[in-house]
Amino acid sequence: MENLSVNFIKYIAKKISTDSYQIYGEKIGILLWNLLSSRRKYAIESIIKHLNFNYNKALSIAKKSFIHTGISYFESLMLENVDYRFIKEKVKIKNEENLEKISKSKRPAVVVTGHLGSWELLLKVLRYYLPEKKSQIVVKFPKNKFLANLIGELRESKNIEIVGHRLVTHKIFPQLKRGGLAAFLVDHNCLRKEAIFLPFLNEIAAVNMGPALIALRTKALVWPTFLVRNREGFEFYLENPLDTQNLQGTLKDKVKDIASFYTQAVEKKVYSFPEQWYWLHRRWKPRP
């Protein structure tokens, strides 16, 4: 029954036009804004606290954030419909020299991003520009088996492997050591045993240190990467990388340096595009 439901959702998703999905996403975002009063209140308060904005500005950003969240939800459904034509027409590269560097590099690539902009479409864009690199995306699957299966089916495509975060050692390491690419979402609300506590948006957050450990053990380059929406489509940011082979100090020092690097990269983009950050998510819950 679950497989039938997943296949039905995939069938419906294929009917979503790449020219109209944002309209549907905006409607979903406005619906969430009107229905989720506690999350709406949390988002406004969080923006005031972490960005030091007044109430009216925080209210405006929070509503826009809900709309962007609705669009992101729809983007996750129509990944199969995103083709080379769509990317070529809609995506503008902001750091072309870095794209050339990563495409020519034989080093392992650990790509890190956050819940900002079009994070669901990001790996599709990477596949378009880096077709020769074997790519994997590390996902923290929900406990619900139906949702976990749905996420895997929607995100996986040709030359992209979806890997549960518990299987990183067995699947990610071998591929990275052969010069592959692994993509991670930076989390700020993870289990204490998986976290390193670092400042993020003026408050200490439990940041996942998994990407840092993996990058260090595979001697990878760490590439902060973002796909941000604009009126014409998207802006693709591939920031300057951190070379883990150049780090000094103890293992703990190096892990902290890497995690701080990608945390600050996400923070910088939140300051630049606050309306595209996923503010309704409850962060900063675990305490040191």
Instruction: Inform me whether the pLDDT recorded for 1 exceeds 70.
Output: no
Closest CA to 98 of 261, 241, 266, 246: 241
What is the mean pLDDT of the segment spanning 206-222? 95
Structure tokens at 170: 């067995």
Residues forming a β-bridge with 157: 160
| Mean pLDDT on 194-201 | 94
Of the chain, the end-to-end C-alpha distance in Å amounts to 43
CA distance 150 to 111: 23
Tell me the pTM.
Answer: 0.89
C-alpha distances out from residue 252 to 212, 235, 243, 282, Å: 10, 35, 16, 27
For the stretch 252-277, pLDDT in tens is: 999 999 999 999 999 999 999 999 99
151-160, 193-202, 224-233: least confident range: 151-160
Q: For residue range 17-41, list pLDDT tens digits in order.
A: 667 778 888 998 999 999 999 999 9
Residues 6+ apart with CB under 8 A from 223: 98, 102, 109, 110, 111, 112, 238, 239, 241
Give the pLDDT of residue 149.
56
Asked if 44 and 107 touch (Cβ cutoff 8 Å), the reply is: no
What number of other Cβ atoms are within 10 A of residue 264's Cβ?
A: 14
Cα 117 from Cα 72, distance rounded (Å):
8
- CA torsion sign, 228 to 220 to 135 to 101? positive
Domain ranges for the chain, please list them.
Answer: 2-276
Which pLDDT does position 145 carry in this prediction? 57
> Is residue 4's pLDDT more than 60?
no
Residue 5 has pLDDT above 60, yes or no: no
| Cβ-contact 128, 84 below 8 angstroms | yes
Q: Which pLDDT does position 154 carry in this prediction?
A: 56
pLDDT at 118 over 50: yes
pLDDT band at 87 (very low <50, low <70, confident <90, very high): very high
Q: Which two tokens stand for residue 101?
A: 């560097």
Predicted local confidence at residue 159, as pLDDT? 58
pLDDT at res. 6: 43
Mean pLDDT, all residues of the chain: 86
Statement: residue 158 has pLDDT above 80: no
Whether the pLDDT of residue 176 is over 50: the answer is yes
Q: pLDDT band at residue 143, thresholds of 50, 70 and 90?
A: low
pLDDT tens digits, one per residue of 223-251 = 999 999 999 999 999 999 999 999 999 99
Q: How many residues does the chain have?
A: 288
